[in-house]
Amino acid sequence: MFQIDPFGRIPVYAQVISELERFVLIGVYKPQDQVPSVRALAVESGVNPNTIQKAYMQMERDGILKSAPGRGRFVTEEAKTIIQSRRRGQLDGLRESLRAFAQAGISREEILECLDEVYTGEGK
């Protein structure tokens, strides 16, 4: 239920954030829900507690989580909104990426095919 790949270029803490955000988007975690404690999530995911801590801290900074000292961490009301709007901002990143492919001689059609594959294919 919690997939982390310790190898590969994506930092583990970023993967943790990504997974948690995904859970918020699909409604596994709803506003006011309590998220697992650092320790609990660490053992469940096999990730170093320091790394979980780092992920939680950043999500707090982003306004997705809020911590109630001594009681735990909770999903904010605006979590879903924040995540979606931020992802929209990431389109800039995508644009840059696409530009790279364009420069690399990949045709618009090849990418379109790719796109359809994703949006008509299976949901996962």
Partner DNA sequence: GTGGTCTAGACCACG
Partner DNA sequence: GTGGTCTAGACCACA
The residues binding a second copy (CB under 8 A) are 6-7, 11-12, 18, 21-22, 25, 61, 66-71, 74, 83-84, 87-88, 90-91, 94-95, 97-106, 108, 110-112, 114-115, 117-119
Q: Quick one: which of 21, 24, 29, 51 contacts DNA (CB under 7 A)?
A: 51
Residue 19: both structure tokens together: 């997974």
58 touching DNA, by CB under 7 A: no
Q: Could you tell which of a second copy, DNA, none binds residue 20, using a CB distance below 5 to 8 A set by kind?
A: none
Mapping DSSP to helix (H, G, I), strand (E, B) and coil, where does residue 35 land?
strand
CB 83 within 8 A of CB 47: no
Q: In angstroms, give the least distance from the CB of 68 to a second copy.
A: 4
Sheet of strand 65-68, all strands in order from the earlier edge strand to the far edge: 34-35, 72-75, 65-68
Contact positions with DNA (CB under 7 A) in 60-99: 60, 67, 69-73
Helices (H), 26-72: 38-45, 49-61
For tokens 């970023």, what's the residue? 14
Q: In angstroms, give the least distance from the CB of 31 to DNA.
A: 17
Q: In angstroms, give the least distance from the CB of 117 to DNA.
A: 28
In sequence order, the 6+-apart residues with CB closer than 8 A to the CB of 63 are 76, 78, 79, 82
57 touching DNA, by CB under 7 A: yes
